[in-house]
Amino acid sequence: MDLAQKAKRFYNQVLESKGVPEKDWMKMIEQLGIDRGTYYHMISKLRGVGLIEKREGFWVGTTHFRAWLEQTLRQVAAVDGYNTIISYDKRE
């Protein structure tokens, strides 16, 4: 499994569990099969694009990225003259 797939797995776990304790980093690197440096690199990238943030010692999903994406999709659709319906489902 490449790093993007592992990052997706970590991100999904953050969303499903409503947060992953920062102190559980050792458990996470074992589950993901990566080393410590790769784990922190992955965290840095997920934070950098605005998907996760640290709140009170937990990695949690952000809401501002989803809001920005929804707004962008609506604006692009409006330029093309379409109405948009945005729905969410879990896809692999």
Residue ranges per domain, the chain? 3-61
What is residue 52's predicted lDDT score, i.e. its pLDDT? 93
- Residues present in the chain in total: 92
Query: Which CATH fold topology does 3-61 show?
Result: Arc Repressor Mutant, subunit A (1.10.10)
d(CA 30, CA 89): 28
Q: How confident is the model at residue 89, as a pLDDT?
A: 58
Name the band, by pLDDT with cuts 50, 70 and 90, for residue 26: very high
Q: Say which residue the tokens 């790093």 belong to.
A: 3
Strand partners, 55: 58
Q: Compute CA 46 distance to the chain's CA centroid, rounded to the nearest angstrom.
A: 6
Q: What is the pLDDT of residues 39-91, one digit of tens each?
A: 999 999 999 888 999 999 999 998 777 777 778 888 888 887 777 676 665 54
Does the structure show a pLDDT above 60 at 35?
yes
The greatest distance separating any two alpha carbons of the chain, rounded to the nearest whole angstrom, comes to 50
pLDDT given for residue 88 in this prediction: 60
pTM for the structure as a whole: 0.70
